[in-house]
Structure 1
Amino acid sequence: MRALAVILLAWSIGTASHAQDAPEAAPRPSLSVATTEVSTGEVTRWLYAEGVAQAARKEFLHFRQAGRVIQIAQDDEGRELRAGSHVEVGALLARIDPRDAQTALDRAEAEAQAARERVRAAQASLDQTRADFERQQSLTERNVGTRAQLDAAEGAYRTAEAGLLEAQANLIVAQAEVTAARTGLERTELTAPFSGTIALMNLRTGDDVSGAPSDLTDAAQERSAAIVLIDDAQFDVTLHLPPFEAEGLTEGKPALIGDNGTILARHIRGTHNDDPVLEGHVWSVSPSITLQRRDVTVVVRTLNSSGFLRDGGFVTVWIAADRSEDTLRIPYDAIIQRGENYFTYVVEGETAVQRPLTLGLAGLDHVEILDGMKAGEQAVIRGQHRLSDGAPVRVVEVE
């Protein structure tokens, strides 16, 4: 036992001596990082979608009766109307042969005139039989006329009354036929229901048309319409959003419309961009989910002030779904995610300190900070993936 104690004592003395002779651990080298100052500003959450632009007002014009095209109208320069021609409301666009309709109108007007003559004759007969009846009443009261004569006079008067009613009814029918015939004649002319631009001309002089179809889709009507007229001053863009994205979206939310997302991002950032970007707003949000696509239909409306939009064109739309103004924010580069947790590194003196974050709206370049930082702090945006809590750092400038 004494030998074991001596060995342990000698080992402990040697260990202590070795510990005194070992050099001190070298300090941890400082890691180079770049930082940005946490500040306040605006953060907007954008919804991104693509859709088809269509004129908000669009008419598929058909002749309402069959016939042969005898005229296509001309524009102010004397050229035949065609796709791209601008027309004013009420302007003549095309005409089919009106002879049958004109004949029908002439016949109806002649019948109406004859009906009016019959009404005048019936009225005159009624006036005469009324006078005869009243005179016979007077004679009978003075015992000059007989009862049979009075009854005959009354019968003639009642017959004249019925004749006038029948003539008046026939006149109403004749006038209705005139109205119908006049409508038929009007339908031989195709006129512009509003001021706009001809998008499609499916007519040529000499074509036979068969009247308007019914219950057709837009695509089918476009193929069968004589003329497609659009108001190209105002457009709707139809979007199909997943239900979780459309949740809470309301009418009136601002929107941007452009050829692609890169152009819209440059516009938002204020960088030089000659590509057209239109401002619009959410016009409607469907309360239901479509059965076929399982999405929510959203319509964005805009004024086509620059002439950028074309009916049927494919465009990109960004909707400002939510916005926080003058809120604390940091760029995406400063945020690290691990699982469902988010954090960043803040430089305090020459040390990196890890900070857990509670995030809010996610914008184009920044994320809203609800908790975990304060304005003026320096958040690491370069080199943070090499850091650990308490690591020494050296701040360098970002080129």
Structure 2
Amino acid sequence: MKINLYHSVILFALLGLAACNNQSADSEAEIAIPVSVEDLKPGFIEQTINTTGTVTATKEATLMTEMAGRYSLGTNPRTGKPFMLGDHVAKGQVIVELEDEEYVNNLGMEAKELNLRISEQNYTKQKSLFDKGGVTQSELSNAEVSAVNARDSYELAKIQLEKMKVRAPFNGVITKLPYYTQGTRVANGTEVVSLMSYEKLQLEVNLPEKYINQLEQGQQVRVMNYTLPEDTLQGEVKELSPAISTETRTFAGKLSIDNDDLKLRPGMFVQAEIILDRKDSVIVIPKDVIISNQRGKSVFIVEQGTAEQKQVTLGYENQDRVEITSGLKANDRLVVKGFETLRSRSKVKIIK
């Protein structure tokens, strides 16, 4: 009996020791929950509309010949070589010139210029005589008509001669340059060059109906392209349609994009953010730390080494972050990693 009693005492002691060890292990496991935290500081957040589309040039033109003649491609003064694709041209610069001596001779530029000079001299003389009473009003009027006709004839000839030259109508870049052998004759209406100006680009977009009362002309726009991951271009809302499509429940808009360095090219697909509003000095947190359940939205913060679950109210949000309008304050230590396994009052260990 004494031996059995002794064995019973030993067994109870071992069971008690195991229970203490398990309790100690559980306590240590709770204390060891690793989390990363972010000290909350006032920041800013913007309410934006995200949209996508293809950018186009604000100016583009296809230039054609207005007269027939022998084709002559001009020389780019910047390179000293004939114009080629991608060359920049200035407004008024001659890109292509046509040659036709017969046509030029028929215009009689020299004769018309000489006739204009003589007519103007005669009018000046007649006016001087009229002031002295030497000629009649009718004679003076006839001299004036002759001078006007001579000037009109000369200016018309200059216009006809100018049609032999194809000039750039704006500062731009050559995007198309059909090949013609120098000196070969081309007909009137022949396409000879296409130009684009894309220092400013435009983006036509369709925007959700719900934003129609929040959008205004002049609102700031940010534009990104996947080929330019480090560059964000600026722009603005240029035009807005007041009509909503009954099929798509969207309304049309046009965005103007500053492209001074020509980083974006016409035809590129871009993502644009239209900035509707901005809030400063507010609490902003990552969206992915928010826990949703039947009681609403909540997050975990750390207070004196334990996790506290806080119910929060959300405000503005963007793709990654959200404003907290109630439930958190500046300097709270927000759990950003390891919150998935936490419960309120869990012991935590902060790691980097």
Q: Same fold (TM over 0.5)?
A: yes
Structure 1 stretch displaced more, 374-383 or 355-364: 374-383
In structure 2, what residue type is equivalent to 1:208? V
Residue 110 of structure 1 deviates from its aligned partner by 7.2
1:240 equivalent among 199, 205, 211:
205
Q: Following the alignment from structure 2 to structure 1, what is the Cα–Cα distance between the partners of residues 73 and 160?
A: 19
1:1-399 → structure 2 map (5 Å cutoff): 30=30, 32=33, 34=35, 36-40=37-41, 41-63=43-65, 65-76=66-77, 77-99=79-101, 100-106=103-109, 109=112, 112-113=115-116, 116=119, 123=126, 161-162=137-138, 164-202=140-178, 204=180, 205=182, 206=184, 208-211=186-189, 226-232=192-198, 234-243=199-208, 244-245=210-211, 247-251=214-218, 253-259=220-226, 275-282=229-236, 284-289=238-243, 294-305=250-261, 307-338=262-293, 341-348=296-303, 353-382=308-337, 384=339, 391-397=344-350
List structure 1 segments (4+ residues) > 6 angstroms apart after TM superposition: 26-29
Q: Following the alignment from structure 1 to structure 2, what is the Cα–Cα distance between the partners of residues 278 and 346?
A: 35
1:5-38: CA deviation from partner (whole Å, max 9, x where unpaired): xxxxxxxxxxxxxxxxxxxxx9999594735345
Residue 350 of structure 1 deviates from its aligned partner by 6.8
In structure 2, what residue type is equivalent to 1:395? V
* Cα 1:310–1:340 shift into 2, 3 Å: farther
* Cα 1:123–1:251 shift into 2, 3 Å: closer
Q: Following the alignment from structure 1 to structure 2, what is the Cα–Cα distance between the partners of residues 68 and 354?
A: 84
Residue 101 of structure 1 deviates from its aligned partner by 4.7
- Structure 1: 5+ residue stretches without partners: 1-25, 132-156, 212-223, 264-274
Partners of 2:91 and 2:168 within 8 A in 1: yes
Residue 295 of structure 1 deviates from its aligned partner by 2.7
Q: Following the alignment from structure 1 to structure 2, what is the Cα–Cα distance between the partners of residues 85 and 329?
A: 48
**Identical amino acids, percent of aligned pairs:** 19
Partners of 1:68 and 1:97 within 8 A in 2: yes
Which one has the bigger helix percentage? 1
1:33-56: CA deviation from partner (whole Å, max 9, x where unpaired): 735345122323443332333444
Q: Following the alignment from structure 2 to structure 1, what is the Cα–Cα distance between the partners of residues 338 and 89?
A: 64
In structure 1, what residue type is equivalent to 2:234? G
* Cα 1:118–1:161 shift into 2, 3 Å: farther
1:191-220: CA deviation from partner (whole Å, max 9, x where unpaired): 234444322223624353434xxxxxxxxx
* DSSP-derived class of the 1:202 partner: coil
* DSSP-derived class of the 1:179 partner: helix
Residue 94 of structure 1 deviates from its aligned partner by 0.8
Which one has the bigger strand percentage? 2
Residue 95 of structure 1 deviates from its aligned partner by 1.0
Q: Following the alignment from structure 2 to structure 1, what is the Cα–Cα distance between the partners of residues 304 and 120?
A: 110
Q: Following the alignment from structure 2 to structure 1, what is the Cα–Cα distance between the partners of residues 80 and 307?
A: 78
Partners of 2:116 and 2:151 within 8 A in 1: no
* DSSP-derived class of the 2:324 partner: strand
Q: Following the alignment from structure 1 to structure 2, what is the Cα–Cα distance between the partners of residues 42 and 286?
A: 27
* DSSP-derived class of the 2:68 partner: strand
Residue 385 of structure 1 deviates from its aligned partner by 5.7
- Structure 2: 5+ residue stretches without partners: 1-22
Counting matched residue pairs gives: 314
1:73-125: CA deviation from partner (whole Å, max 9, x where unpaired): 122444221211233444321112344255224387179459829966x959x
* DSSP-derived class of the 1:178 partner: helix
Q: Following the alignment from structure 1 to structure 2, what is the Cα–Cα distance between the partners of residues 373 and 174?
A: 86
Q: Following the alignment from structure 2 to structure 1, what is the Cα–Cα distance between the partners of residues 53 and 253?
A: 10
* Cα 1:88–1:111 shift into 2, 3 Å: closer
Partners of 2:40 and 2:334 within 8 A in 1: no
Could you state the TM-score of these two structures normalised by the residue count of structure 2? Answer: 0.70
In structure 2, what residue type is equivalent to 1:329? V
Residue 179 of structure 1 deviates from its aligned partner by 0.8
